[in-house]
């Protein structure tokens, strides 16, 4: 998902951050020979990961290294490629040492993803809230689409069922840094609640009189609607931005055949 994302806290002017994506044959000891080589050449390994699943005969070793400034990365990559076990090498330089991704573009649940500061997204949400009519509805509908996509994707790659649909959603949220979820949802009554700890929206938004996580409510609604095959309403009843400990979203089946029930739920008088 975000496996190839590496963030550097600082930047050392006497060195350079260089990443290598090394394709190697999956034979015993082959990975060791690569690591030995890097160590011998004084390439300080800062971060790396292995992928021995995606391809049958070969493995992929993605590694971020700190090299002396005078080392020519191209020649260094060529040297790695000359190792007997290595078939392909790609490399890149993180010029400013801030954020670099080996895989471009980043892939998030089957489609292109991007990394952004929470504040960047929250600024967009704030701008909507401050300027657009029906901002809450607009954000709900925007989130809804994302949630529908997520459920569709998970249905296509795994057996999404009543025992795991909540865990999968929680794992996704944690993986992309949106928040920590505690989900209680009865698949028979379609009722329940979602507690969001450390919601990136509420945490970053600052104080507010009103709940601010409509985008997440919409996302949950889209996910559950697509999974259950039935319209699900999710409303945020408590939000960290309003001073509460955590955010709480209530799950219920959407009223059918009109809007009357929902208007009552929202406390509106007609």
Partner 1 sequence: MIKQPNVILGNDELLVTMGRKGDILGFFYPRRDHAQHVEESVACIHTGEKLLWTNDNDWHCIQNYIEDTNIVSTKLYHDSGIRISILDLVHPDVPVLIRRFKIQSQKKISGKFFYYSNFNVGETTKKNSGFCDTDTHLLVQYWQNYHIGIYSLPEFTEWQIGKAMDTIWWTNSKFDMEDGKLQGNKEDIGNINNAAGWDLELEADGANEFVIFIGAASSRRLLYKRIQELSKLPLEYIFEKTREHWVMLLSRKQVLKMPGLEGYDNLRQELFSAYNRALLMLYLLNDRKYGSFVAAPEFDSNFEKCGGYGFCWNRDAAEIVLALKHSGYPEYCDTFFKWCIQTQLSDGSWFQRYWLNGDIAPSWGNFDYSTQIDETGSTLYAMDVYYRVLEGLKKAEFLEEVWVSILRAAEYLMKRTKSGLHERCMDLWETFYGIFTYTNASIYAGLMGASHLAEENGEAGMAKRWKKRAEFVKQATIDRFWLQEGYFAKGVINEKLDKTVDASILGAYVPFGMLSPKDPLEKDMIQFMIGNIQKKLSVPFNLNYGIRRYENDSYINGNPWVVTTLWLSEAMFTLSLELSSEKSTSVVTSGSVVTNGASSGNGEISDDTVKKLTLEGVKCLKWALAGATSTGLLPEQVEQSTGKPAWAIPLGWSGSLMLDNILLLDKICRRRAGNQEES
Residues near partner 1, by CB under 8 A: 133-134, 136-138, 140-141, 144, 214, 217-218, 221, 225, 231, 233, 235, 254, 256-259, 262, 266
Question: What is the smallest separation between the CB atom of 181 and partner 1, expressed in angstroms?
Answer: 20
- Any idea what the Cα angle at residue 14 is, between residues 9 and 19, rounded to 5°? 60
Q: What is the DSSP letter of 255?
A: P
25 half-sphere exposure, CB direction, 13 A CA radius: 9
Q: Which CB atom, from 73 or from 253, has the smaller least distance to partner 1?
A: 253
Smallest separation, CB 117 to partner 1 (Å): 27
- Residues facing residue 64 across a β-bridge: 19, 47
**Cβ nearer to partner 1, comparing 203 with 262:** 262
Closest CB 158 distance from partner 1, rounded Å: 22
Nearer to partner 1, 212 or 214 (CB): 214
Report strand pairing: 111-113 vs 232-238. Answer: unpaired
Give me the least distance between CB of 93 and partner 1, in Å please: 34
In the complex, minimum distance from the CB of residue 168 to partner 1, in angstroms, rounded to a whole number: 22
C-alpha–C-alpha distance, residues 67 and 14, integer Å: 9
Q: Which is nearer to partner 1, 65 or 225 (CB)?
A: 225
Nearer to partner 1, 49 or 134 (CB): 134
Taking residue 255's Cβ as centre, other Cβ atoms within 10 Å add up to 15
> Whose CA is closest to 40, among 4, 75, 2, 79?
79
């Amino acid at each position: 998902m975000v496996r190839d994302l590496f963030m550097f806290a600082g930047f050392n002017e006497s060195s350079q951050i260089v990443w290598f994506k090394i394709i190697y044959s999956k034979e015993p000891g082959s990975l060791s020979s690569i690591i030995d080589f890097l160590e011998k050449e004084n390439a300080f390994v800062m971060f790396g990961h292995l992928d021995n699943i995606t391809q049958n005969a070969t493995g992929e070793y993605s590694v971020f290294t700190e090299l002396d400034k005078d080392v020519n990365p191209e020649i260094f990559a060529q040297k790695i490629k000359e190792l007997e076990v290595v078939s392909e090498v790609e490399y890149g330089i993180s010029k400013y040492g801030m954020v670099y991704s080996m895989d471009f573009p980043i892939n998030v649940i089957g489609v292109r993803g991007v990394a952004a500061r929470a504040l960047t997204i929250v600024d967009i949400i704030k701008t909507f809230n401050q300027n657009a009519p029906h901002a809450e509805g607009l954000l709900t509908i925007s989130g809804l689409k994302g949630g529908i996509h997520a459920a569709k994707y998970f249905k296509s790659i795994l057996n999404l069922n009543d025992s795991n649909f909540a865990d999968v959603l929680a794992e996704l949220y944690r993986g992309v840094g949106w928040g920590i979820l505690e989900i209680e949802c009865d698949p028979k009554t379609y009722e329940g609640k979602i507690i969001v700890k450390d919601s990136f929206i509420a945490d970053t938004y600052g104080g507010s009189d009103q709940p601010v996580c409509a985008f997440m409510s919409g996302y949950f609604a889209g996910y559950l609607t697509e999974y259950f095959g039935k319209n699900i309403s999710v409303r945020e009843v408590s939000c960290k931005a309003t001073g509460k400990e955590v955010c709480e979203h209530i799950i219920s089946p959407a009223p059918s055949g009109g809007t009357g029930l929902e208007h009552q739920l929202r406390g509106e008088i007609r």
